[in-house]
Amino acid sequence: MIHKLILLKLIIFMFSGCSNNINTAPVVSIRLESIPLELTTHLGDQQQFVEGDEIQFLLSLGQDAYIYMYYIDAVNNIKQILPNEDQRSNFYTAGYFLTIPEYEKHYRFIIREPYGNESVWVFASDQLIKINTKPDSMENIKRLIKKSSMKAYGESVLNIITRKK
């Protein structure tokens, strides 16, 4: 009786081990190389900006990459900064120090309502990625860019505070 019980447990154990492997695809984890990038403003980090201030963002890039930049205002509206109508090319070489917006371009980044906690997100990828839809969340944008990157990916977030004069 004890032998039958041991044999039955052994058979159940063997089949349970086999059933876990049936129809299970192997999980492949692709590890992306990190693209070094740093984002700040012309006044440095941790700054408060008041109504009417003009901000320039400064981005340094440690590896050739395509740059995707987004601004989230105080009420969570997302606006794509790069690439844009005036600055369609978003490929930059390593060591390049990018000023956004560039002065010769036709747009400025000026503080106006709504005021509060805001953020600027920058993503770097080794791939040119078409982002055709209006962004609905930073998580979805991040996921798309990271998933579309083949070998390298990077990101940086800069938080700023804006207020009325």
User: Over the stretch 112-163, which tens digit does the pLDDT of each residue have?
Assistant: 999 999 999 999 999 999 887 677 899 999 999 999 999 999 999 999 999 9
Give the phi and the psi of residue 162 in degrees, each rounded to 5: -120, 150
Alpha carbon 39 to chain centroid, angstroms? 13
pLDDT tens for residues 3-49? 443 433 434 444 444 444 444 545 445 688 999 999 999 887 667 89
Helix or strand run (H / E) with residue 11: helix 2-19
pLDDT tens for residues 38-97? 999 988 766 789 999 999 899 999 999 999 999 999 999 999 988 887 777 899 999 888
Helix or strand run (H / E) with residue 120: strand 116-125
Q: How far apart are CA 24 and CA 72, in angstroms?
A: 40
Residue with tokens 């996921």, as numbered in its chain: 143
Query: For the chain, which domains are there?
Result: 33-163 (2.60.40.3880)
How many other C-beta atoms are found inside a 10 Å radius of the C-beta of residue 43?
14
Structure tokens at 71: 């601004």
Q: Which amino acid is at 136?
A: D
The predicted pLDDT at position 99 comes to: 86
The predicted pLDDT at position 22 comes to: 44
Contact 131, 84 (CB under 8 A): no
